[in-house]
């Protein structure tokens, strides 16, 4: 265990055993056991004895170093994410979905990206089932590409970074119980001056869309969770008013997120009804939302939710990130001097250009 610097951690629930088995098989083929511990969080209040569930999971472990734990008291997605983070004992962690398969040198791809750029989070490409159709990152999502990195929000599938950094920026927002936890965390990192992005070469994933019981896609009442996430984002990040800065946020809400969650039956009546059902929840969380908003107002970069990042934005955030990331890198790769890492990153980002001023 002492030689392993990675934890690969996944949430799973009943009905997805076939997909978890396939994921474990591809992790074994990728020989991740050389560098990684495997943590599986059973994110469900199951009636079956935990020992029996664990026995079934370990039967498919293929010799991998697997630990199983159980999140039964509050099996929401964000609660499961917090347990994944708390259980991690290594300096690097990769959160990975249980309905994907891994192809190629995942650990090498992730480490290469983290060593080559001062990223807070890195993801890898995923494809729809066994096709050549790219699932994530979506080509239509605003991004900036530099060499083999695509700087943008990393949405699920496989999300990797430094354990201590996840903790230091506040972990997962407890108000994103079943939707939007990665979107909010990415935004928080960018606003703190820490970029996120995808490694567009090397290892990739296949996302098996027929996996049942998705807690986001198939969950009853998901429209209320999406609406709740939208409301919290608007309140926490000063995006309530519709203006030039928040236009992209409100356009995505209207064109993608609300139709996705409410379906073709969406109407002003159903939307108002769902909003009113969330009123007591909003009242209960109001103090914490206000406290969170006061913190976001102090962020050095004031990106609005879902704002399109530019080349200049990436330059400024990268320049800000090199020194902030250096201590986390040093924990993993202590033989690489922090000053050398900073100098290399700045050289790649700036060349002969002057460094912009950061607020």
For residue 51, pLDDT over 80 is answered with: yes
For residue 341, pLDDT over 60 is answered with: no
pLDDT, averaged across the chain: 91
For residue 355, pLDDT over 60 is answered with: no
Distance from CA of residue 241 to its chain's centroid?
27
For residue 284, pLDDT over 60 is answered with: yes
Mean pLDDT, range 259-286, rounded to an integer: 91
Among candidates 322, 323, 319, 317, which has minimal Cα distance to 302? Answer: 317
Provide the strand spans (E) within 192-344. Answer: 196-199, 204-207
For residue 353, what pLDDT band results from cuts at 50, 70 and 90? very low
For residue 261, what pLDDT band results from cuts at 50, 70 and 90? confident
For residue 182, pLDDT over 90 is answered with: yes
Which pLDDT does position 217 carry in this prediction? 61
Q: Greater confidence, 218 or 86?
A: 86
Beta-bridged to residue 182, according to DSSP, are none
Task: Dump pLDDT digits (tens) for 192-204.
Answer: 999 999 999 999 9
For residue 343, what pLDDT band results from cuts at 50, 70 and 90? low
Which pLDDT does position 340 carry in this prediction? 47
For residue 354, what pLDDT band results from cuts at 50, 70 and 90? very low
Which pLDDT does position 1 carry in this prediction? 44
Task: Kindly list the structural domains of the chain, giving each domain's residue range(s) and its CATH number in brackets, ordered by start.
Answer: 6-207 (3.90.550.10), 222-296 (no CATH)
Which pLDDT does position 156 carry in this prediction? 81
For residue 336, what pLDDT band results from cuts at 50, 70 and 90? low
Task: Dump pLDDT digits (tens) for 86-120.
Answer: 999 999 999 999 999 999 999 999 999 999 999 99
For residue 241, what pLDDT band results from cuts at 50, 70 and 90? very high
For the question of whether the overall pTM of this predicted structure is more than 0.85, the answer is: yes
Mean pLDDT, range 36-58, rounded to an integer: 96
Provide the strand spans (E) within the chain. Answer: 6-12, 36-42, 66-70, 92-96, 100-103, 121-124, 126-128, 134-136, 144-146, 149-151, 158-162, 196-199, 204-207
Pair of tokens at residue 87: 């259980």
For residue 359, pLDDT over 50 is answered with: no
For residue 310, pLDDT over 70 is answered with: yes
Three-state secondary structure call for residue 191: helix
For residue 210, pLDDT over 80 is answered with: yes
Which pLDDT does position 158 carry in this prediction? 97
Beta-bridged to residue 199, according to DSSP, are 124, 149
Mean pLDDT, range 30-45, rounded to an integer: 95
Mean pLDDT, range 132-159, rounded to an integer: 94
Weakest mean pLDDT among 170-174, 223-227, 355-359: 355-359
Which pLDDT does position 352 carry in this prediction? 38
In angstroms, rounded to a whole number, what is the distance separating the alpha carbons of residues 20 and 227?
30
Which pLDDT does position 3 carry in this prediction? 77
Weakest mean pLDDT among 21-25, 84-88, 235-239, 336-340: 336-340
């Amino acid at each position: 265990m002492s030689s392993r610097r990675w934890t690969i951690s996944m949430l799973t629930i009943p009905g997805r055993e076939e997909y978890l088995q396939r994921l474990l098989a591809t992790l074994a083929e990728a020989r991740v056991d050389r560098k990684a511990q495997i943590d599986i969080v059973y994110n469900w209040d199951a009636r079956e004895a935990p020992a029996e569930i664990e026995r079934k999971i370990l039967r498919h472990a293929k010799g991998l170093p697997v630990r199983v734990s159980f999140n039964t008291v509050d099996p929401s997605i964000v609660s499961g994410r917090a347990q994944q983070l708390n259980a991690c004992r290594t300096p690097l962690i990769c959160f990975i979905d249980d309905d994907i398969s891994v192809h190629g040198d995942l650990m090498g791809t992730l480490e290469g990206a983290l060593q080559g750029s001062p990223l807070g989070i890195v993801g890898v490409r995923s494809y729809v089932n066994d096709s050549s159709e790219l699932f994530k990152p979506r080509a239509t999502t605003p991004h900036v590409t530099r060499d083999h990195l695509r700087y943008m929000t990393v949405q699920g599938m496989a999300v990797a970074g430094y354990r201590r950094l996840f903790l230091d920026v506040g972990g997962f927002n407890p108000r994103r119980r079943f939707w939007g936890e990665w979107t909010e965390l990415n935004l928080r990192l960018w606003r703190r001056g820490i970029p996120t992005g995808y490694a567009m070469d090397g290892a990739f994933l296949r996302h098996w869309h027929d996996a049942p019981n998705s807690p986001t896609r198939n969950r009853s009442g998901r429209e209320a969770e999406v609406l709740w996430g939208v409301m919290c984002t608007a309140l926490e990040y000063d995006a309530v008013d519709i203006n030039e800065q928040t236009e992209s946020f409100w356009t995505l809400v209207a064109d993608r997120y609300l139709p996705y969650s409410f379906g073709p039956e969406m109407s002003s009546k159903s939307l108002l009804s769902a909003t009113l059902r969330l009123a007591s929840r909003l009242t209960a969380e109001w103090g914490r939302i206000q406290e969170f908003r006061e913190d976001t107002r102090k962020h050095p970069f004031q990106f609005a939710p879902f704002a399109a990042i530019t080349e200049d934005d990436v330059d400024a955030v990268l320049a800000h990130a090199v020194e902030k990331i250096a201590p986390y890198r040093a924990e993993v790769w202590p033989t690489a001097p922090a000053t050398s890492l900073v100098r290399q990153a700045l050289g790649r980002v700036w060349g002969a250009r002057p460094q912009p001023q950061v607020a």
